[in-house]
Amino acid sequence: MPNQTPFSRLACLALLLALAACAPQPAAESSARTATPPANGSDPEREPDEDDDVTTAQAGVAFETVPEAFVSALEPEENIDSPASWQGGDGSTWVVASGKSTHRLTLYDGDSGAVLRRVAEAGDLPGQLRRPNGVFVIDDRLFVVERDNRRVQVFALPSFAPLGSFGQAELRKPYGVWVMGVEAGYEVIVSDAYMSEADADRPPPPAALGERFKRYRVVARGPEFEATLLGSFGATDAAGAIRIPESLWGDPAQGRLMLAEEDQKDPTRYKVYDLSGRYAGSDLGAGRFHAQAEGIALWQCRDGSGYWIATDPFKDRSVFHVFDRVSLEHRGAFAGEVTANTDGVWLQQSPTRAFPAGVFYAVHDDQALAAFDWRAIARALALPERCGNG
């Protein structure tokens, strides 16, 4: 056999490598496990309200600037959605916020924004969470909506001991929650953003929107509770239907429910329902919201007066519109120096150590908690710092 020149040996080697590249290759195993999709088949990350980004400059919206009292450290890995506050007997104020991506809760000091601890981990056992979203505090109870476990879980405060859960049998894609105290317990309303059976990225047709909200009665049974489904509601006509729901809040004194319509094509606004679940034929903020109608809170006085604070989460700065509680007339708008892209908000109307007239909390860009001193808001918009009747 003749000796091969260096060139011919290189040519043969190149030919062998080319043939090897063309041969079928075994599939490589990924070192990371793919997350198990939720039982309803939805994308574990995608939200139904995702749409084009909008800025305040594009919308031409007017507002007063109110500097934040604090903005907590940025934690983008948390994907923070909604806050709710609780006050202890020692005068401390906690803010509990849901972390959608980490499947846990972050506990903040409500006076400084310092992170105090984390609560829970991913899972479907009691005390575990999957994609927590809406949170609500009433008395010493914390209600947490879990989108991907399709339930509402209840925790005791301040221990965070799990007390039980409900809604698994009927909730499909729950997001927001509002709780009202009633005799012997609570009435709980949960928004359910189930999508079309034919297209998981689109809302159902109006005729299928009659179960957008589920109503429960929750009664304490010793340290635990018993939950009963009272029914579902949602308008199915074009005017009253909620195509993409999430945030909601009620005002029993005025007999109203404010339900956010996040669909920008509708257009986005808050639709006014009565407490029985019927569309009242009027809207809050129609024509004023350009990004999405998001978190909403109520500043209320015993004489029936007060203000609705409603969020338009622009990408550059969130704008918080203020409406009269009774007439629903627009009283002005404010924005922080930093806070943007806000999902959930919470109003702590009773005084705290740092905020003697109360404080408005808002999520900043899915990664931090911002606080606004109510006195600063009141000065900027010429509102009262306190209720006239105490």
Sheet strands side by side (includes 162-166): 132-138, 141-146, 151-156, 162-166
User: Distance (Å, rounded) from C-alpha 190 to C-alpha 168?
Assistant: 12
| Whether residue 116 has pLDDT greater than 90 | yes
Token pair belonging to 175: 């997001």
| Whether residue 16 has pLDDT greater than 80 | no
User: Distance (Å, rounded) from C-alpha 304 to C-alpha 94?
Assistant: 27
Q: Please, what is the Cα angle at 183 between 177 and 189, to 5 degrees?
A: 15
| Whether residue 114 has pLDDT greater than 60 | yes
Per-residue model confidence (pLDDT) at position 229? 98
Per-residue model confidence (pLDDT) at position 14? 40
Name residue, tokens 């006195």. Answer: 375
Render pLDDT for 304-316 as a digit per residue (tens, 0 to 9).
999 999 999 999 9
| Whether residue 22 has pLDDT greater than 70 | no
| Whether residue 135 has pLDDT greater than 50 | yes
Paired with 65 in beta bridges are: 335
Q: How many CB atoms lie within 10 A of CB 104?
A: 19
Per-residue model confidence (pLDDT) at position 45? 55
Top pLDDT among 30 and 131 is at: 131
- Superfamily name and number for 62-381: TolB, C-terminal domain (2.120.10.30)
Per-residue model confidence (pLDDT) at position 21? 39
Share of the chain residues as helix, strand and coil, in percent rounded to the nearest 5: 10, 40, 50
Top pLDDT among 390 and 259 is at: 259
Q: In a 10 Å sphere around its CB, with 0-12 CB exposed, 13-18 middle and 19+ buried, how is residue 18 labelled?
A: exposed
Per-residue model confidence (pLDDT) at position 8? 38
19-34: string of b/e by CB count within 10 Å (b at 16+)?
Answer: eeeeeeeeeeeeeeee
Mean per-residue pLDDT for 360-370? 98
Per-residue model confidence (pLDDT) at position 48? 58
Render pLDDT for 290-338 as a digit per residue (tens, 0 to 9).
999 999 999 999 999 999 999 999 999 999 999 999 999 999 999 999 9
Q: Which residue type sits at 135? A: V
Q: What is the mean pLDDT of the chain?
A: 88
Mean per-residue pLDDT for 7-25? 37
Token pair belonging to 308: 């609705």
- 22 backbone dihedrals φ, ψ, rounded to 5°: -80, -15
Contact 369, 85 (CB under 8 A): no
Per-residue model confidence (pLDDT) at position 220? 84
Mean per-residue pLDDT for 227-249? 96
Render pLDDT for 150-182 as a digit per residue (tens, 0 to 9).
999 999 999 999 999 999 999 999 999 999 999
Q: How many CB atoms lie within 10 A of CB 233?
A: 19
Contact 358, 349 (CB under 8 A): yes
Percent of the chain with pLDDT over 90: 79
| Whether residue 389 has pLDDT greater than 60 | no
Contact 373, 380 (CB under 8 A): no
Q: How confident is the model at residue 368 (pLDDT cuts 50, 70, 90)?
A: very high
- 6 backbone dihedrals φ, ψ, rounded to 5°: -55, -40
Domain boundaries, the chain: 62-381
Q: Distance between alpha carbon 155 and the CA centroid of its chain, in Å?
A: 18
- Using the 8-state DSSP alphabet, how is residue 5 labeled? P
Per-residue model confidence (pLDDT) at position 136? 98
| Whether residue 2 has pLDDT greater than 90 | no
User: Distance (Å, rounded) from C-alpha 88 to C-alpha 86?
Assistant: 7
Token pair belonging to 49: 């309200």
| Whether residue 33 has pLDDT greater than 60 | no
Mean per-residue pLDDT for 85-103? 97
Paired with 39 in beta bridges are: none
Top pLDDT among 201 and 67 is at: 67
Per-residue model confidence (pLDDT) at position 28? 31
Instruction: Give the predicted TM-score (pTM) of the model.
Output: 0.87
Per-residue model confidence (pLDDT) at position 49? 55
Nearest-10 Cα torsion for 53, 55, 61, 63: 120
CA dist 153 → 120, 143, 184, 245 (Å): 12, 6, 19, 20
Per-residue model confidence (pLDDT) at position 257? 98
Dihedral sign, Cα of residue 341, residue 64, residue 62, residue 321? positive
User: Distance (Å, rounded) from C-alpha 5 to C-alpha 54?
Assistant: 67
Q: Which residue type sits at 347? A: L
CA nearest 245: which of 54, 80, 47?
A: 47
